[in-house]
Chain A
Amino acid sequence: MRLLDSLRLIGGKLFRRPATNGEMEEELRSHIEHRADDLERAGVTRAEAQRRARVEFGGYEHYRQESYEATGGHFFERLRQDVRYGSRVLAKSPGFTVVAVVTLALAIGANAVVFSMLNGLVLRPLNVPRSQSLVAIGQRDGVPMQSYPDYLDLRERNRSFDDVIAYQITRAGLNTGRTAIPSWVYEASGNYFDALGIQPYLGRFFHRSDEHGENSSPYIVLSYAYWLSHFDGDRAAVGRTIQLNKHPYTILGVAPQEFRGTELFFAPDFWVPMIDQEHVDGWSTLKSRGTRDAELIGLLKTGVTPAQATADLNSVAVYLSKTYPKDDDRTSFKLARPGLAGDMLGGPVRAFLGGLTALAALILLAACANLGSLFAARAADRSKEIALRLALGSSRRRILRQLLTEAVLVSLMGGAAGVLGSVLLLRWLSAWRPVPDFPIRLPVSPDAHVYGVALLLAVASGILFGVVPVRQVLRANPYEVVKAGSAASTGRRMTVRDLLLVVQIAICGVLVTSSLVAVRGLVRSLHSNFGFAPQGAVLVDTDLDMAGYSGDQVPVMQRRAIDAVAAIPGVTAAAIIDRSPLSLGWSSDVVFKDSTTDTKVSNAAAEAMKYCISPGYFHAAGTILLAGRPLTWHDDKAAPRVAIVNEEFARKVFGSVRDAVGKYFKTVSARIQVVGIVENGKYKTLTEDQQPAMFFPVLQSPTSSTTMVVRSKDSPQQTVTALNDTLRKLDPGLPFAIKTWPKEMDSALFASRAATMSLGVLGLLGAMLAVTGIFGMAAYSVSKRLRELGIRIALGAQRSEVLRAALGRACRLLVFGSAVGLALGLAATRLLSLIVYQASPRDPLVLCGVVLIMLLLGLVAAWIPAQRALAADPLMLLREE
Chain B
Amino acid sequence: MAKNDLQGALDLLILKTLSQLGAMHGYGIAVHIEEVSDALLTVEEGSLYPALHRMEQSGWLRAEWAMTESSRKAKFYSLTAAGKKQLAVREKNWEQVVKGVQAILRFA
Contact = CB atoms under 8 A, between A and B. Distances in A.
Contacts of B99: none
Given A30-B75, A31-B26, A57 B45 contact: yes
Interface in A171-186: none
Contacts of B31: 38
B50 A69 contact: yes
B13 to A, nearest CB: 16
A70 B26 contact: no
Contacts of B70: 34, 37
Interface string A590-603: 00000000000000
A179 B74 CA distance: 92
Interface in B60-102: 68, 70, 72-75
A34 B57 contact: no
B49 to A, nearest CB: 4
Contacts of A24: 49, 53
A95 interface: no
A72 B53 CA distance: 9
Nearest to B26: A31
B50 A67 contact: yes
A66 B46 contact: yes
Contacts of B56: 71
Contacts of A57: 45
A62 interface: yes
B50 A66 contact: yes
A741 B8 CA distance: 89
Interface residues of A, number: 23
Interface residues on B, range: 20 to 34
A31 B27 CA distance: 5
A20 to B, nearest CB: 10
A5 to B, nearest CB: 10
Specify the main secondary structure of chain A where it touches its partner. Answer: helix
Contact of B54 (A30, A31, A62, A72): A72
Nearest to B55: A70
B72 A63 contact: no
Q: Which of B26, B27, B28, B73 is packed against the most chain A CB atoms within 10 Å?
A: B27
A70 to B, nearest CB: 3
A145 to B, nearest CB: 72
B46 A63 contact: yes
A37 B46 contact: no
Given A30-B72, A30-B75, A57-B45, A70 B51 contact: yes
Interface in A24-68: 24, 26-28, 30-31, 33-35, 37-38, 57-59, 62-63, 66-67
Q: For A58, A70, A71, which residue has the most chain B Cβ atoms within 10 angstroms?
A: A70
A49 to B, nearest CB: 13
A34 B102 CA distance: 38
B53 A70 contact: yes
B25 interface: yes
A715 B70 CA distance: 107
Nearest to A70: B50
Contacts of A38: 31
A72 B57 contact: yes
Contact of A27 (B28, B46, B49): B49
Interface string B20-35: 0000011110010000
Contacts of B28: 34
A217 B29 CA distance: 95
B83 to A, nearest CB: 16
A34 B53 contact: no
A34 B27 contact: yes
A837 B62 CA distance: 78
A16 B56 CA distance: 16
A62 B50 contact: no
A835 B74 CA distance: 79
Contacts of B75: 23, 26-27, 30
A71 B73 CA distance: 22
B46 A30 contact: no
A761 B100 CA distance: 73
B63 to A, nearest CB: 9
B50 A30 contact: no
A58 B45 CA distance: 9
A419 B14 CA distance: 56
Interface string A68-86: 0111100000000000000
A58 B46 contact: yes
A31 B25 CA distance: 8
Contacts of A23: 75
Contacts of B27: 30-31, 34-35
Q: Which 4 A-B pairs have CB atoms at the shortest separation, nearest pair first?
A: A70-B50, A34-B27, A70-B54, A67-B49
Interface of A: 23-24, 26-28, 30-31, 33-35, 37-38, 57-59, 62-63, 66-67, 69-72
